[in-house]
Structure 1
Amino acid sequence: MRLLARQYAADLPALDTHSLMDGALLQAAGVRLEFMPMGERDGAYDPENKVVLINSLARPERQRFTLAHEISHALLLSDDDLLSDLHDQYDGERLEMMIETLCNVGAAGILISDTLMNDVLTRFGPSGRALHELVRRADVSGSAALYALLEAASGQILLVVCAVTGRGEAKQLTVRASGATESVKYPLRPGTPIPDEHPIQIALETGLEISAKSYVPFRSGRKMPAWVDVYPDGNGRRVFASFNLDPARFGGE
C-alpha cells in the first residue's frame, strides 16, 4: 500500500489539497472532487459515480489527510492482487478494518516524502519530537504522522498522540491515536486517560520535552515498563509521545 501511495505521489505537481487530485490514476478515471457538509463523516470515495467527497466543515489539515485517505481507497481498488489477498485473508468487520488501516498507511505515504522521513528519523529517532516534526513540516494530522513513522520505525516502539478533551473539572488528557511496530502486541486504545503523574501529563503542564524511564498506562491499570519520549506541541492541548519497550533501553531485564 505504501508503494502504491509513493508511486502516486511521485506523479503529483504539489501536495496541496487540490493538487492531490492530479495523479495519473484519478485523471485517467475522470474522478472529481466535491466539498459538502457531511455531519460527523470526514469524507468518502464513490467509485461508481467517480467522486471523492470531503466534509467542507472539517479543518483544512483534516481535509487534506481525508483526501489522501480516500485517494488511497481508489489506489487499493485499482490493485486486483492486493484486493484478492485481502479478501483471501479477511472478511466482515476485520476486512473493513484492514482496508481502513491500509488507507491510513496510504495517506501517510502520499503526504510524507521519504526524504522528510529519513531526515526526521536521523535527527530524532522514532520519538515524540519526530512526530511533532512530521506534523509541522508536512502539515499533516497527528494520526498521519503516526502511521508514517510506524512504517519507517524499527524495534519495540509504541507511538501515541494525546489531546485534552472537555473543559473545567471535566478536562482530561487522553489518547487520541495510537499504533505500534509489529513486535509490540498491544497499543493504547483511543480514549485511554493519562495519569496525573505520568511524563505525558507533566509535559503538557510544563510545556517541556521529557525523556525518562516510565511506563505504558494501559486502561486496565497495568503499567508496562518503557522509556518514554514526550514532546508537547506548544498550544497546551496536544502531546506526542513514543514508548520504547526494549528492556535494554530502560534498564530492564
Structure 2
Amino acid sequence: MAASDASPAPEGAIDPAHKARMRELASTYGRGLPGSDAQALASGLGARLVYMDLGERDGAYDPEHDVILINNKASPERQRFTLAHEISHALLLSDDDLLSAVHDSFEGERLEEVIETLCNVGASALLLPSELLDDVLRRYGPTGRALYELARRADVSASVAIYGLAEVTPGSVIYAVCSRPRGKPTEEGASSRQRGSRRPVVVRASSGSPQARYPLRPGTPVPDDHLVVTVLDTELEAAGRSYVPFRSGRKLPAWVDAYPDKRARRVLVSFRTEE
C-alpha cells in the first residue's frame, strides 16, 4: 500500500525527463475523465474511494484491492490534492519504464522522497491543466493575483497553486503566501509601541520557477517595512521595486507584486528577482 502525507518532498537531482513523463501521465489521465469532482477523478482507475480517520496520514493507495483511502478529517482542499496525489501513485506504478528508471537511480529514503515528489508533480498536472495555467499567466502574468485566480478557479489550496504555477513560469520568479499568525488583534487607538508588538508576518509557503536561483523558506519573517506587510494591513493590491527577504538578513532586489486574500487574511506574492 502506498501511503503519503501529500507534502512536497525535496527534489534534489531528479531527472527533468522523469518529471515531464509524470506530468504527461497525469495530463493524459485527466483528459479522459468525465468531470473534476472526487468520484470522476477516481473513475479512470476504477478504484473505490473510502473516507475514514487516518490519523496523521492524508491518504493511501492500495493497488491490491483498488482502494484509495482519504482522511475524512482533512479540509476539502487537502482531500482533493491527496486524491490527485494517490492517483499519481497508481499512474507511476502503471508505467514500468518510469518506475524502473526511478528505482535504478535512487534507493532507501531518497527513493521514497523522489516518488513522493513525482506524485506531487502528477497531482499538480491533474488538478492544474496546462490550458488553465496558460490562461492565468496570459491574463495576469507572474503575479500575486495570478496565484489567487488559479487557486480559485481550480478549487485548490494556495500552496498547490504556487507549486503548479512556479513549474511553468518563465524567468526567475519566487511565489509565496505570507500571513501574520492568528492572535489578538491590535486595538484601535493603541500606541505605536503597542502596534509594534503585533506578531510578525511570515512566509507560509513558497516555490520558485526553474530559473529561480534561491529558495525562500517557509517561516522566514517579513520585515515590517516591506511592501507585503503594507498590502496585508491595507488590504490593497500593490506592486513595486522591493526585495526578497531571507533569514540571513540578505535583501535580494526584486519586483514585488502582492495581492490580498481578504477572507483568509493573507497575501499572495510574486518576487521577480533581478539576478
Query: When the two structures are superposed, what TM-score results if normalisation uses the length of structure 2?
Result: 0.81
Q: Which amino acid aligns with 1:152?
A: V
For 1:33, the equivalent position in structure 2 comes to: 49
In the alignment, which of 49, 59, 73 is matched to residue 57 of structure 1?
Answer: 73
- 1:176/1:45 Cα in 2 relative to 1: closer, same or farther (>3 Å)? farther
Alignment of 1:37-48 (within 5 A): 37-48=53-64
CA offset at residue 171 of structure 1? 4.1
Structure 1: unaligned runs, 5 residues or longer:
248-253
- 1:103/1:76 Cα in 2 relative to 1: closer, same or farther (>3 Å)? same
Q: Which amino acid aligns with 2:23?
A: R
2:37 maps to 1:16: yes
2:249 maps to 1:221: yes
Give secondary structure in 2 for the equivalent of 1:213: strand
Q: Which shifted more, 10-19 or 88-97? A: 88-97
Cα contact 1:230–1:239 (8 A) shared by 2: yes
- Deviating runs (4+, > 6 A) in structure 1? none
CA offset at residue 233 of structure 1? 1.1
Distance 1:53 1:213 in 2: 46
Cα contact 2:48–2:66 (8 A) shared by 1: yes
Cα contact 1:188–1:218 (8 A) shared by 2: yes
- 1:164/1:126 Cα in 2 relative to 1: closer, same or farther (>3 Å)? same
Q: Which shifted more, 152-161 or 228-237? A: 228-237
2:94 maps to 1:73: no
How many residue pairs were aligned?
242
Q: Which amino acid aligns with 1:167?
A: G
**Which deviations, in whole Å up to 9, do the C-alpha atoms of 1:110-152 show, x marking residues without a partner?**
1122222221111111211111010111111112211211222
Distance 1:246 1:182 in 2: 15
Give secondary structure in 2 for the equivalent of 1:18: helix
- 1:89/1:198 Cα in 2 relative to 1: closer, same or farther (>3 Å)? farther
Alignment of 1:113-192 (within 5 A): 113-168=129-184, 171-192=199-220
Q: Who wins on radius of gyration, i.e. which is larger?
A: 2
Distance 2:215 2:119 in 1: 19
**Aligned sequence identity (%):** 58
Distance 2:106 2:243 in 1: 34
Alignment of 1:91-106 (within 5 A): 91-106=107-122
Cα contact 1:229–1:241 (8 A) shared by 2: yes
Structure 2: unaligned runs, 5 residues or longer:
1-21, 185-196
Give secondary structure in 2 for the equivalent of 1:165: coil
Give secondary structure in 1 for the equivalent of 2:222: coil
- 1:170/1:19 Cα in 2 relative to 1: closer, same or farther (>3 Å)? farther
Distance 2:248 2:88 in 1: 35
Cα contact 1:204–1:236 (8 A) shared by 2: no
For 1:250, the equivalent position in structure 2 comes to: none
Give secondary structure in 1 for the equivalent of 2:180: strand
Q: Which amino acid aligns with 2:262?
A: G
CA offset at residue 57 of structure 1? 1.3
- 1:232/1:120 Cα in 2 relative to 1: closer, same or farther (>3 Å)? same
**Which deviations, in whole Å up to 9, do the C-alpha atoms of 1:141-179 show, x marking residues without a partner?**
112211211222111111112233342378443222211
Q: Which amino acid aligns with 1:224?
A: L
Q: Which amino acid aligns with 2:151?
A: V
